[in-house]
Amino acid sequence: MAAPPAPATEGSPQPEPHVREPGPGSARRGREDSRASRLSFCTKVCYGIGGVPNQIASSATAFYLQLFLLDIAQIPAAQVSLVLFGGKVSGAAADPVAGFFINRSQRTGSGRLMPWVLGCTPFIALAYFFLWFLPPFTSLRGLWYTTFYCLFQGLATFFQVPYTALTMLLTPCPRERDSATAYRMTVEMAGTLMGATVHGLIVSGAHKHHRCEATVTPGPVTVSPNAARLYYIAAAVVAVTYPVCSSLLCLGVKERPDPSTPASGPGLSFLAGLGLTTRHPPYLKLVISFLFISAAVQVEQSYLVLFCTHASQLHDHVQGLVLTVLVSAVLSTPLWEWVLQRFGKKMSAFGISAMVPFAILLAAVPTAPVAYVVAFVSGVSIAVSLLLPWSMLPDVVDDFQLQHHHGPGLETIFYSSYVFFTKLSGACALGISTLSLEFSGYKAGACKQAEEVVVTLKVLIGAVPTCMILAGLCILMVGSTPKTPSQDASSRLSLRRRTSYSLA
């Protein structure tokens, strides 16, 4: 308890009430803080480039891994289900583990988050390459791909968690963070477009339809060595992007907090911080809503190529449809950033629902013109579904820090737990949906599938994403969402980050 002020004695000057008046010095400091909070164009671009490798790899696996496992590796659909489920679960389980270790890591000259990104780079590149490698044995291929997919997903998590949490440490200004997020999403999608284009063009020769027309036997088609070699080349090209882009990230981006500033007190443990974050209502609503939305996007991406190959006469349009999805996503990202700033993030969420009627239309009328329209609209919806949660999450973190006085540093826990839950939902959605192919009678490597498989693919491309998106939007629209902090609130958060940044 503070001691009461000493009584004023006669003749002593009376203390004047403290009135803080803005003066030229405070105005100048405000302008300096504002300029210091701004991020340069180079910093934003380099920050976006840092996330390109994971997005390229994720796009390639989302569109082509399932087809590779079924038609090139020719493992049963039940084993493919286990590969996808095991990999996604390992990635999800790695999120809290990554948050725990990153949370307790010490600062270095390059910061606290950057060393994790750089340290994971060589190992994740190797794991990705061997994920697309065709081993000489056939009986244990399911175990081979499960092992390397689990390694890839786990290492990708240790790469992605510190990278995404770096958003909070770039600048204390919410608008600059939103701008950096938009740059990141645009650059990532542009990289995804180039990566998916290169990957798709390289492996397109492995899926020529004439190989089925020349086959007289109804069984699986023998995989040529050339097909396996094409996948090796595509995997090597994507793997090289990890060291290149990580180097540019390290050179162009610096963590904001000053590591020489002492903390004001002990920080929260990881488990205590996780308990606090998961009880924060705005965070719970954000996570639950995007559990459904992100799972819907993953299902739509995973089954688009399979649907075009086996459930319609669109096998010659696979590469064009994939490019249409990615091009529309890249071009619409700046537009969605403007919509976010102009109309608000909650209103922008309705853009995700644009995918719903067109996905149903594709399942009902699987023709080339309809497919290209659906691909374009799906890309627009995917863009906002990817941009929106990463723009809302910093607001949720700021809302939490304004209501609690535990000090900053919980960014990693917020980001890692969000990725954990979304990956877990994707694992369940992809595992169950791929298992449904096994129950419907899918034959790995076969040129023509049974009618039950065709119906199952139509349900997976139309009805399943529709139900998930509508459920997620209903949850997101209920109640209020955290507002972007005012300038005063942002200044208080910036001061708290500078004086209390500790995660012991």
CATH code for the part of the protein at 39-209+225-255: 1.20.1250.20
| pLDDT tens-digit series, residues 108-123 | 777 778 888 899 999 9
**pLDDT tens string 74-97:** 888 889 889 989 998 898 888 778
Residue 383 has pLDDT above 70, yes or no: yes
DSSP collapsed to 3 states, 449-465 = CCHHHHHHHHHHHCHHH
pLDDT at 294 over 70: yes
- Does 395 score more than 90 pLDDT? no
pLDDT band at 175 (very low <50, low <70, confident <90, very high): confident
**Dihedrals phi, psi of 306, to nearest 5 degrees:** -65, -40
16 pLDDT band, cuts 50/70/90, is very low
Neighbours of 247 (CB within 10 A): 14
User: Mean pLDDT of all residues in the chain?
Assistant: 78
Average pLDDT of the residues in 285-291: 89
Q: CA-CA distance, 372 to 376, in Å (whole number)?
A: 6
The predicted model scores a pTM of: 0.71
For the chain, the structural domain boundaries read 39-209+225-255, 269-484
pLDDT of 130 reads 95
Buried b (16+ CB within 10 A) or exposed e, 430-467: bbebbbbbbebebbbebbebeeebbebbbebbbebbbe
Contact 176, 490 (CB under 8 A): no
- Whether 125 contacts 243, CB under 8 Å: yes
Helices 41-50 and 225-252, packing angle to 10 deg: 150
Residue with the larger pLDDT of the pair 4 and 186 = 186
Give residue 83's pLDDT.
Answer: 92
The answer to whether 39-209+225-255 and 269-484 have equal CATH topology is yes
- Mean pLDDT calculated for residue range 63-81: 87
Confidence of residue 239 (pLDDT cuts 50, 70, 90): very high
Q: For the segment 357-371, what is each residue's pLDDT rounded down to a tens digit?
A: 888 888 888 888 999
Q: Which fold has domain 269-484?
A: Growth Hormone; Chain: A; (1.20.1250)
